[in-house]
Structures are given as structure tokens and as C-alpha cells.
Amino acid sequence: MKIFSSEQIKKCDEFTILNEPVTSVNLMERAAQSAVDWILKKFGYDHSFHFFCGNGNNGGDGFAMARMLYHCGFDVTVFIGKENQNFSKDAEINFYKVKQISGIDVLDFDAVKGFEFKNNSVIIDAVFGTGLNRNIEGKTVALIKLLNQLSFPKISIDIPSGLFADKILDENSTVFKADETLSFQFWKKSFLHPETGVFCGNINILNIGLGKEFIQKEPSENFVIDETLIRNIYKPHNEFSNKGTYGKTTVVAGSFGKMGATVLATKAALKSGSGLTFTLSPKCGYEILQTTCPEAMYLYGGEDFISHFDVEENSVVGIGPGLGTDPETENTFLEFLKNYRKPLVLDADALNIISKNPENLRFIPKNSIITPHPKEFERLFGKTENSFDRLELSKKKSEELEIFIVLKDHHTQIITPENKVYYNITGNSGMAQGGSGDVLLGLITSLLAQNYSPKNASIFGVWLHGKAGDFAAEKHSKEAMLPSDLIEELGNAFKTLKK
């Protein structure tokens, strides 16, 4: 799914109005109805709804929703800024319809201070939409701060008020903090970054039938990884295949005391379909590997740490989990990197070794995949002020080095050398523990060995990793799930693509 800027979304609306054709007020009606349909599924008739509406089209959505919910039998109150009623054309039409309903009280924003909210209240934020391009100010700041203090369920329409669609917030900005965001047709970039996404709660994308032709033709560099994309990438196993069909994977990992990382990476490679799997690891982990991963073949890499890199011929190599940074390991790894030309996958200590000298970056083979978390990224490429800046630096380095960067975060981003960015929306906070990255290394390396392109191996691997995490959280809870549970749930993640 493409991510569009606020300007592109406006153009998409205009295209739909002109080419469907549909009037702008009827398109607003369609959007409002989709949000009301969602609310009807979520809340029972024992709830009352309090709408806070601005004077733009976002407020118009709120007015239309208030009217619809009232006609469905709900108690509804509407709050507006009475001192400034310079409504947009469509907002004015829907405001007039609300005013004609005697059962809906229309109050000033100031009235909220003394208003007695019932225990069954739901707050609906429709003050500012995606067109906002400056910090909110004046009485609206006080209003949103007050609403944020209320303990009732909070819903934002299209985007939380005060949030920009495409960029980082200014310092000390005031933003409505939603439990649920009902966004029309598209994800917004700000939903997907930690500094801004924290205000959005659960994201719910509502299809309102905007112009398919525009969406198809309009260019974008930013995408959300959805199931449609994954189904286009996924290559089911052919019945007339053999172990040679699905490639060779070599995991280079481990040192004394860190063999668990090696086991996780190896098991993930095995569980994701690698035809033949080898693990190059120190002898201190031999018994552990042969016992826990009997399907994999052991390659001697040294005694207590890896001292040489004799990888299996014609295999795809993933390096890093539990590798350690012993000087002999460092020297051997860098020497291997200087002479290796095929795409490989690098994570953890492999990246930490490279980061010790910026010159080492040029040894990474073209079309390789690196999977840093934010701190590892900082060591490799330097400090950035926020995740938006980090993404821009990632795009620059991906293009410069001709590599794929899997930038791990709550919504992990895959950055291609062509400056395309793919945001992952599977996964959860239960995966935020040591070992999850080792599983991802094994997954992506295995997919690369199975002849997925570096881009598709990265996208598919990250999606599978997150999907398995969601199944694990459902089964064990976010608090009690383990990285090894991700591996056990990979089968269920694959099964979703069979349905």
C-alpha cells in the first residue's frame, strides 16, 4: 500500500470528485459513514459520544458522524469554537444539518471545563485533519490538554489533532492522544514513527473508495507492507522439488557464552524453508548445536570464538549473532569481507566490528542486507536527532553503498538503494528483547538462499518475523513470549498465506 503525503491525498480526493464523479460533500458523507460503521461494531448503545469539531473538513466529518450516530439512537454532544465559525463549504453544510436536530446540544469549546461527562462517554477528535501545517495555538491548546487528561476512550478522525501527516513534531507541540485513529484510505507517514505514532493508538484504515486509477499511477517512495504485497512476493514450495531447490544457508555466529544466539538464528533458517543449513561456529558450541539443531550441519570455526571463515561453497551467508568482538574474530571477519563478493546478511557484532572504522563500510558487498537497531545504526553512520532524520540518512547510505538496510524499530523500515522505503506493520512490543534480531537474521538469510531477491527477502523476512510475533503474543502474552516462540509460530505465519 502506498503512503501518500497530505498534498497527494488532497489530489486523490479531487481526482475522485472529478472522475467518479461524486460531490465533495457526498465524499465527506461516505467517509463519515465508514467511521460510524466502525464505531457501531466497537461500541454498544450504552455509550454517549462527544464530538470536538474544527471549522475545516475534518470538523465536517465530525458533524456528519454526530448526525449519523444520533439517528442510530446514541446520545451525542457537539463542541465547536464559537468565536471562529468560518467553516469550509462542506463543513458548513454538515454543521447546518446538526443545528436542525434539537436533540444534539452544540456547545462552545470553553463549555468543556464545567461539562459533566458520564461514565459511558467517548471523546471524538475532529478538530484538525491532515491539512495542518503549523503548531496549534490559542484556546485549542488548552482544549486538547484538557481532553488528554480525561480517562474516557478517545478516537481521532483521520489523524490526531496537532499531528502533521508527513513530518516530525516541533518541540513542545500539543497533540491529541488517541486510543484509536480512524484514517481514511491511507496510512500517514507520521503513524509509523515512534515520536509521532505514540499519539495515534491503534490505527484503523477505512476504505472510502478513492480513485483507484489515481492511486495506481501516483508515484510514491513510501509503502506499507500489506498482505497483498506479501502474497505477490511469496513463492509456495513446488511439489516436484528437492532440498537443492531451496538453497544453502550458512549462519556464521557464536562465541563462548553466546551460543543461544547461534541456535536462534539457525533454527529460524531451518524453520523458514532453507534447503540445506550450515552453522559455522566455535567448537565450544558443538554439542549445543548438534543437540538443539540436528537438521543443521556444523562447520568448525575455532575453539571459543570464530577464528576463520570457511563458509560452505555456493551458500548464502548470514553473519553476526553472538559473534563477539575478539581481535582475532575481528581480523578474520574483515579479511573475509574484503574478499567476498556475493550478497550476504550482516547483523549484531558483525555490524559492531564494521563500525569501528568507517572505511570498513566499503567492504560490504553490493546488494547485501544489514539489519541494525537504532544504536547499531548510530555506530555505523552517526547520530541523528530523530527517526525521521535517521530514515533520511538511511536512504542516503543505502544508495551510496548499494545495500539494503533493514532498520529495526516498532515499525521496521526496509530501505532500498533506489530510495524506496517499506514500513512493516506486523509485530508487537513483546518482541523487544534480546534474541529477536537473531531470529530475523536467520530468516532473511534463509529467504535469500531460496532465491528471493535481497529486497523481497528483507520485506518478506520482516513481515514473517512480525506475524510470528503476533501469533506468539496471542498465545503467550507480550510479557511472557520469548524469541524462541517466534520460531515456533513461523508455521502459522506461513499458513495465513495459504488461506
Q: Is 128 helix (H, G, I), strand (E, B) or coil?
A: coil
Report the distance separating Cα 449 and Cα 274, nearest Å: 7
Q: Tell me what pLDDT residue 244 has.
A: 81
Q: Tell me what pLDDT residue 371 has.
A: 98
Q: Tell me what pLDDT residue 287 has.
A: 96
Q: Tell me what pLDDT residue 171 has.
A: 84
How confident is residue 172, by pLDDT bands cut at 50, 70 and 90?
confident
- Would you say residue 84 has pLDDT above 90? no
Q: Tell me what pLDDT residue 44 has.
A: 87
Q: Tell me what pLDDT residue 85 has.
A: 78
Strand partners, 464: none
Asked if 458 and 367 touch (Cβ cutoff 8 Å), the reply is: no
Q: Tell me what pLDDT residue 498 has.
A: 87
Read off φ and ψ for residue 123, nearest 5 degrees: -95, 125
Q: Tell me what pLDDT residue 119 has.
A: 96
How confident is residue 272, by pLDDT bands cut at 50, 70 and 90?
very high
pLDDT > 90 in the chain, percent: 93
- Would you say residue 27 has pLDDT above 80? yes
Report the distance separating Cα 428 and Cα 478, nearest Å: 7
Q: Tell me what pLDDT residue 304 has.
A: 95
- Would you say residue 241 has pLDDT above 90? no
Tens of pLDDT, residue by residue over 54-63, are 999 999 999 9
How confident is residue 238, by pLDDT bands cut at 50, 70 and 90?
confident
- Would you say residue 373 has pLDDT above 90? yes
Report the distance separating Cα 467 and Cα 452, nearest Å: 19
Read off φ and ψ for residue 244, nearest 5 degrees: -70, -20
What sign does the dihedral 224-261-375-342 (CA atoms) show?
negative
Strand order from edge to edge, sheet including 276-281: 222-225, 421-424, 413-415, 404-407, 369-370, 345-346, 316-319, 248-252, 276-281, 297-300
Tens of pLDDT, residue by residue over 476-491, are 999 999 999 999 999 9
Q: Is 296 helix (H, G, I), strand (E, B) or coil?
A: coil
**C-alpha to C-alpha distances, 389 to 101, 189, 225, nearest whole angstrom:** 49, 13, 21
Query: What contacts 327, CB < 8 A, 6 or more positions away?
Result: none
- Would you say residue 31 has pLDDT above 80? yes
Tens of pLDDT, residue by residue over 182-195, are 999 999 999 999 99
Tens of pLDDT, residue by residue over 408-433, are 999 999 999 999 999 999 999 999 99
How confident is residue 392, by pLDDT bands cut at 50, 70 and 90?
very high
Q: Tell me what pLDDT residue 390 has.
A: 98
Tens of pLDDT, residue by residue over 328-344, are 999 999 999 999 999 99
pTM beyond 0.85, yes or no? yes
pLDDT > 70 in the chain, percent: 100
**Nearest residue to 125 (alpha-carbon basis) of 178, 203, 198, 163:** 178
- Would you say residue 400 has pLDDT above 80? yes
Query: What contacts 377, CB < 8 A, 6 or more positions away?
Result: 390, 394, 405, 407
Q: Tell me what pLDDT residue 189 has.
A: 97
Asked if 422 and 431 touch (Cβ cutoff 8 Å), the reply is: no
Report the distance separating Cα 373 and Cα 384, nearest Å: 13
**Nearest residue to 139 (alpha-carbon basis) of 111, 105, 115:** 111
What sign does the dihedral 481-482-484-490 (CA atoms) show?
positive
Q: Tell me what pLDDT residue 219 has.
A: 97
Q: Tell me what pLDDT residue 82 has.
A: 81
Mean pLDDT over 292-308 rounds to 95
The chain-wide mean pLDDT, for the chain, equals 96
- Would you say residue 114 has pLDDT above 80? yes
Mean pLDDT over 163-178 rounds to 94
Q: Tell me what pLDDT residue 60 has.
A: 98
Q: Tell me what pLDDT residue 162 has.
A: 97
**C-alpha to C-alpha distances, 102 to 65, 93, 391, 396, nearest whole angstrom:** 16, 17, 51, 58
Looking at residue 393, the DSSP 8-state letter turns out to be H
Q: How many residues does the chain have?
A: 499
Q: Tell me what pLDDT residue 422 has.
A: 98
Mean pLDDT over 438-457 rounds to 98
**Domains, the chain, ordered by start:** 6-220 (3.40.50.10260), 230-495 (3.40.1190.20)
How confident is residue 499, by pLDDT bands cut at 50, 70 and 90?
confident
**C-alpha dihedral over 251, 255, 260, 262, to 10 degrees?**
0
